Amino acid sequence: MGKRFKVNYRIPFYESDINHQIKLPHLLSFALQVSGLQSEELGNTDEFILEKYNLVWVITDYELEIERLPNYAETIEVETEAIAYNKLFCYRKFFIYGQDGQKIIDISSTFVLMDYDSRKVVSVKEAIVEPYGSEKIKKIIRGPKYDSLDDSAEQVLFHVRYLDLDMNGHVNNSKYLEWMYEAMDLDFLKQHIPKKIQLKYLKEIHYGKDILSLIQRDGLSTKHEIRSDQGLHAQALIEWRLKEGDQDDL
Protein backbone atom coordinates (compact mmCIF):
# COMPACT_ATOMS: atom_id res chain seq x y z
CA MET A 1 0.00 0.00 0.00
CA GLY A 2 1.35 3.38 -0.98
CA LYS A 3 0.89 6.53 1.05
CA ARG A 4 -2.45 8.19 0.51
CA PHE A 5 -2.98 11.91 0.11
CA LYS A 6 -6.21 13.83 -0.26
CA VAL A 7 -7.56 17.29 -0.97
CA ASN A 8 -11.07 18.73 -0.80
CA TYR A 9 -12.33 20.64 -3.81
CA ARG A 10 -15.51 22.54 -4.48
CA ILE A 11 -16.63 22.46 -8.11
CA PRO A 12 -16.53 26.05 -9.42
CA PHE A 13 -19.08 27.62 -11.73
CA TYR A 14 -16.54 28.13 -14.49
CA GLU A 15 -15.71 24.41 -14.62
CA SER A 16 -19.33 23.24 -14.70
CA ASP A 17 -21.01 22.16 -17.92
CA ILE A 18 -24.52 22.56 -19.27
CA ASN A 19 -25.53 19.43 -17.30
CA HIS A 20 -24.46 21.28 -14.11
CA GLN A 21 -21.64 18.77 -13.59
CA ILE A 22 -17.88 19.17 -13.63
CA LYS A 23 -16.23 19.39 -17.05
CA LEU A 24 -14.46 16.04 -17.05
CA PRO A 25 -11.17 17.19 -18.63
CA HIS A 26 -10.88 19.62 -15.73
CA LEU A 27 -11.31 16.80 -13.22
CA LEU A 28 -8.31 15.05 -14.79
CA SER A 29 -6.27 18.26 -14.48
CA PHE A 30 -7.28 18.64 -10.87
CA ALA A 31 -6.47 15.01 -10.03
CA LEU A 32 -3.00 15.51 -11.49
CA GLN A 33 -2.64 18.61 -9.33
CA VAL A 34 -3.39 16.46 -6.27
CA SER A 35 -0.58 14.02 -7.12
CA GLY A 36 1.68 17.05 -7.56
CA LEU A 37 0.72 18.27 -4.09
CA GLN A 38 1.52 14.83 -2.64
CA SER A 39 4.96 14.96 -4.29
CA GLU A 40 5.45 18.39 -2.76
CA GLU A 41 4.49 17.16 0.71
CA LEU A 42 7.01 14.33 0.33
CA GLY A 43 9.75 16.73 -0.82
CA ASN A 44 9.85 15.02 -4.18
CA THR A 45 8.53 17.70 -6.54
CA ASP A 46 8.56 17.63 -10.34
CA GLU A 47 11.05 20.53 -10.24
CA PHE A 48 13.37 18.49 -7.97
CA ILE A 49 13.44 15.41 -10.20
CA LEU A 50 13.92 17.59 -13.27
CA GLU A 51 16.90 19.34 -11.70
CA LYS A 52 18.46 16.23 -10.18
CA TYR A 53 17.80 13.63 -12.89
CA ASN A 54 16.66 15.65 -15.94
CA LEU A 55 13.48 13.54 -15.87
CA VAL A 56 9.80 14.40 -16.15
CA TRP A 57 6.67 12.38 -15.37
CA VAL A 58 4.48 11.57 -18.36
CA ILE A 59 1.07 9.92 -18.27
CA THR A 60 0.54 7.10 -20.75
CA ASP A 61 -2.86 5.66 -19.77
CA TYR A 62 -6.02 6.52 -17.90
CA GLU A 63 -8.97 4.35 -16.99
CA LEU A 64 -11.96 5.99 -15.32
CA GLU A 65 -14.92 4.16 -13.79
CA ILE A 66 -17.63 6.73 -13.23
CA GLU A 67 -20.59 6.15 -10.93
CA ARG A 68 -21.67 9.75 -11.26
CA LEU A 69 -20.01 13.09 -12.01
CA PRO A 70 -19.55 15.72 -9.30
CA ASN A 71 -22.16 18.49 -9.39
CA TYR A 72 -21.67 22.23 -9.51
CA ALA A 73 -20.83 23.58 -6.01
CA GLU A 74 -20.45 20.06 -4.58
CA THR A 75 -17.42 19.62 -2.32
CA ILE A 76 -15.65 16.47 -3.36
CA GLU A 77 -12.60 14.72 -1.91
CA VAL A 78 -9.85 13.71 -4.32
CA GLU A 79 -7.58 11.03 -2.90
CA THR A 80 -4.52 9.58 -4.58
CA GLU A 81 -2.23 6.63 -3.97
CA ALA A 82 0.83 5.39 -5.86
CA ILE A 83 -0.12 1.71 -5.99
CA ALA A 84 2.80 -0.09 -7.59
CA TYR A 85 5.62 0.13 -10.09
CA ASN A 86 7.68 -2.17 -12.27
CA LYS A 87 10.78 -1.62 -14.38
CA LEU A 88 9.13 0.97 -16.64
CA PHE A 89 5.69 1.88 -15.36
CA CYS A 90 4.27 3.49 -12.23
CA TYR A 91 0.61 2.88 -11.37
CA ARG A 92 -1.34 5.50 -9.47
CA LYS A 93 -4.98 5.54 -8.40
CA PHE A 94 -7.28 8.47 -7.78
CA PHE A 95 -10.51 8.09 -5.82
CA ILE A 96 -13.18 10.78 -6.03
CA TYR A 97 -15.69 10.90 -3.17
CA GLY A 98 -18.92 12.88 -3.36
CA GLN A 99 -20.18 15.25 -0.71
CA ASP A 100 -22.04 12.31 0.89
CA GLY A 101 -18.75 10.41 1.33
CA GLN A 102 -19.58 7.80 -1.34
CA LYS A 103 -16.92 6.93 -3.89
CA ILE A 104 -18.20 8.19 -7.23
CA ILE A 105 -15.16 7.90 -9.52
CA ASP A 106 -12.21 5.54 -9.60
CA ILE A 107 -9.25 6.50 -11.80
CA SER A 108 -6.32 4.23 -12.65
CA SER A 109 -3.36 5.91 -14.28
CA THR A 110 0.00 4.84 -15.65
CA PHE A 111 3.05 7.09 -15.55
CA VAL A 112 6.52 6.78 -17.04
CA LEU A 113 9.67 8.81 -16.50
CA MET A 114 11.01 10.53 -19.60
CA ASP A 115 14.33 12.25 -20.20
CA TYR A 116 13.56 15.93 -20.61
CA ASP A 117 15.90 16.43 -23.57
CA SER A 118 15.81 13.15 -25.47
CA ARG A 119 12.05 12.63 -24.78
CA LYS A 120 12.86 8.92 -24.31
CA VAL A 121 11.32 6.77 -21.59
CA VAL A 122 13.82 5.61 -18.98
CA SER A 123 13.55 2.85 -16.37
CA VAL A 124 12.03 3.75 -13.00
CA LYS A 125 14.54 5.05 -10.46
CA GLU A 126 14.06 3.64 -6.96
CA ALA A 127 15.04 6.96 -5.37
CA ILE A 128 12.24 8.73 -7.21
CA VAL A 129 9.44 6.33 -6.30
CA GLU A 130 10.63 5.39 -2.79
CA PRO A 131 8.91 8.34 -1.01
CA TYR A 132 5.43 7.15 -2.10
CA GLY A 133 5.79 3.73 -0.41
CA SER A 134 4.36 1.86 -3.40
CA GLU A 135 5.00 -1.80 -4.08
CA LYS A 136 7.48 -3.10 -6.65
CA ILE A 137 5.86 -5.66 -8.93
CA LYS A 138 6.93 -7.69 -11.95
CA LYS A 139 3.58 -7.62 -13.68
CA ILE A 140 2.85 -5.17 -16.46
CA ILE A 141 -0.75 -3.95 -16.38
CA ARG A 142 -2.12 -3.99 -19.92
CA GLY A 143 -4.71 -1.56 -21.17
CA PRO A 144 -7.41 -2.51 -23.66
CA LYS A 145 -6.79 -3.17 -27.32
CA TYR A 146 -7.66 -0.04 -29.28
CA ASP A 147 -8.75 -0.94 -32.82
CA SER A 148 -7.91 1.58 -35.50
CA LEU A 149 -10.82 3.68 -36.68
CA ASP A 150 -11.83 3.18 -40.28
CA ASP A 151 -12.90 5.61 -42.97
CA SER A 152 -16.44 5.87 -41.64
CA ALA A 153 -15.18 7.83 -38.62
CA GLU A 154 -16.26 11.45 -38.37
CA GLN A 155 -13.39 13.91 -38.33
CA VAL A 156 -13.25 17.34 -36.73
CA LEU A 157 -10.29 19.63 -37.25
CA PHE A 158 -8.65 21.57 -34.40
CA HIS A 159 -5.67 23.84 -34.22
CA VAL A 160 -3.38 23.68 -31.17
CA ARG A 161 -3.77 27.01 -29.38
CA TYR A 162 -1.52 29.11 -27.18
CA LEU A 163 -3.65 28.55 -24.09
CA ASP A 164 -3.60 24.77 -24.73
CA LEU A 165 0.08 24.83 -23.75
CA ASP A 166 1.28 24.22 -20.24
CA MET A 167 4.30 25.73 -18.48
CA ASN A 168 6.62 23.43 -20.37
CA GLY A 169 5.23 24.43 -23.73
CA HIS A 170 3.49 21.07 -24.17
CA VAL A 171 -0.16 20.46 -24.83
CA ASN A 172 -1.84 19.80 -21.51
CA ASN A 173 -3.03 16.19 -21.12
CA SER A 174 -6.61 17.20 -20.51
CA LYS A 175 -6.83 18.85 -23.96
CA TYR A 176 -6.90 15.50 -25.73
CA LEU A 177 -10.08 14.56 -23.88
CA GLU A 178 -11.48 18.02 -24.67
CA TRP A 179 -10.94 17.44 -28.39
CA MET A 180 -12.62 14.05 -28.11
CA TYR A 181 -15.64 15.68 -26.45
CA GLU A 182 -15.75 18.47 -29.03
CA ALA A 183 -16.07 15.96 -31.86
CA MET A 184 -19.40 14.75 -30.43
CA ASP A 185 -22.95 15.96 -30.99
CA LEU A 186 -24.21 18.56 -28.54
CA ASP A 187 -27.47 16.62 -28.18
CA PHE A 188 -25.66 13.41 -27.30
CA LEU A 189 -23.56 15.24 -24.70
CA LYS A 190 -26.68 16.78 -23.19
CA GLN A 191 -28.33 13.39 -22.78
CA HIS A 192 -25.45 11.13 -21.75
CA ILE A 193 -22.69 10.95 -19.22
CA PRO A 194 -19.60 8.76 -19.47
CA LYS A 195 -19.61 5.51 -17.49
CA LYS A 196 -16.16 4.22 -18.38
CA ILE A 197 -13.26 5.90 -20.17
CA GLN A 198 -10.05 4.28 -21.35
CA LEU A 199 -7.51 6.69 -22.76
CA LYS A 200 -4.03 6.12 -24.14
CA TYR A 201 -1.44 8.80 -24.92
CA LEU A 202 1.06 7.89 -27.62
CA LYS A 203 2.88 11.00 -28.76
CA GLU A 204 3.18 14.67 -27.81
CA ILE A 205 1.58 17.40 -29.90
CA HIS A 206 3.18 20.76 -30.53
CA TYR A 207 1.94 24.34 -30.81
CA GLY A 208 0.48 25.42 -34.11
CA LYS A 209 -0.22 21.90 -35.34
CA ASP A 210 -3.51 20.95 -36.90
CA ILE A 211 -5.03 17.91 -35.29
CA LEU A 212 -7.99 15.74 -36.23
CA SER A 213 -10.34 14.39 -33.61
CA LEU A 214 -11.91 11.21 -34.99
CA ILE A 215 -15.00 9.56 -33.56
CA GLN A 216 -16.98 6.43 -34.31
CA ARG A 217 -20.16 5.78 -32.33
CA ASP A 218 -21.93 2.47 -31.89
CA GLY A 219 -24.93 2.96 -29.61
CA LEU A 220 -23.60 3.85 -26.18
CA SER A 221 -19.97 3.21 -27.09
CA THR A 222 -17.62 5.64 -28.79
CA LYS A 223 -14.10 5.18 -30.11
CA HIS A 224 -11.80 8.16 -30.45
CA GLU A 225 -8.48 9.04 -32.02
CA ILE A 226 -6.40 12.20 -32.06
CA ARG A 227 -4.25 12.34 -35.18
CA SER A 228 -1.95 14.82 -36.87
CA ASP A 229 0.32 14.67 -39.89
CA GLN A 230 2.79 13.01 -37.53
CA GLY A 231 0.47 10.08 -36.89
CA LEU A 232 -1.58 8.91 -33.95
CA HIS A 233 -1.34 10.88 -30.68
CA ALA A 234 -4.08 9.43 -28.50
CA GLN A 235 -6.84 6.81 -28.51
CA ALA A 236 -9.87 6.33 -26.31
CA LEU A 237 -12.83 4.07 -25.70
CA ILE A 238 -15.81 5.58 -23.90
CA GLU A 239 -18.95 3.86 -22.65
CA TRP A 240 -21.86 6.19 -22.00
CA ARG A 241 -25.09 5.97 -20.05
CA LEU A 242 -28.30 7.91 -20.44
CA LYS A 243 -28.58 10.69 -17.87
CA GLU A 244 -31.73 9.25 -16.30
CA GLY A 245 -30.75 6.40 -14.01
CA ASP A 246 -33.48 3.91 -14.95
CA GLN A 247 -32.53 3.62 -18.57
CA ASP A 248 -28.84 2.96 -17.93
CA ASP A 249 -28.43 -0.25 -19.78
CA LEU A 250 -30.43 0.33 -22.92
Compute the residue count for the chain: 250
How would you classify residue 38: left for phi > 0, otherwise alpha for psi between -120 and 50, otherwise beta?
A: alpha
Pick one of 161, 203, 206, 243: the residue that binds its own copies (CB under 8 A): 161
Range list of H helices, 145-233: 173-182, 186-191
Q: Please report how close the Cβ of residue 30 comes to its own copies at its closest, in angstroms.
A: 8
Q: Is 206 a binder of its own copies (CB under 8 A)?
A: no
Cβ-based nearer residue to its own copies, 13 or 244: 13
Helix axes 24-41, 173-182, angle to 10 degrees: 170
Cβ-based nearer residue to its own copies, 9 or 132: 9
Pick one of 32, 104, 129, 214: the residue that binds its own copies (CB under 8 A): 32
Interaction pattern, residues 165-194, with its own copies; x per rule: CB under 8 A: xxxxx--x-x---x--xx-x-x--x-----
What would the DSSP string read from start to end of 98-156?
Answer: -TTS-EEEEEEEEEEEEETTT--EEPPPHHHHGGGTPEE-S--------PPP-TTSEEE
Q: Count other Cβ atoms within 10 Å, centred on residue 50.
A: 14
Q: Is 27 a binder of its own copies (CB under 8 A)?
A: no
Q: Please report how close the Cβ of residue 177 comes to its own copies at its closest, in angstroms.
A: 10
How would you classify residue 101: left for phi > 0, otherwise alpha for psi between -120 and 50, otherwise beta?
A: left
Region of 16-24, 59-67, 98-106, 198-206 interacting with its own copies (CB under 8 A): 16-24
* Residue numbers at the binding site for its own copies (CB under 8 A): 12-14, 16-18, 20, 23, 25, 29-30, 32-33, 36, 72, 161-163, 165-169, 172, 174, 178, 181-182, 184, 186, 189, 207-208
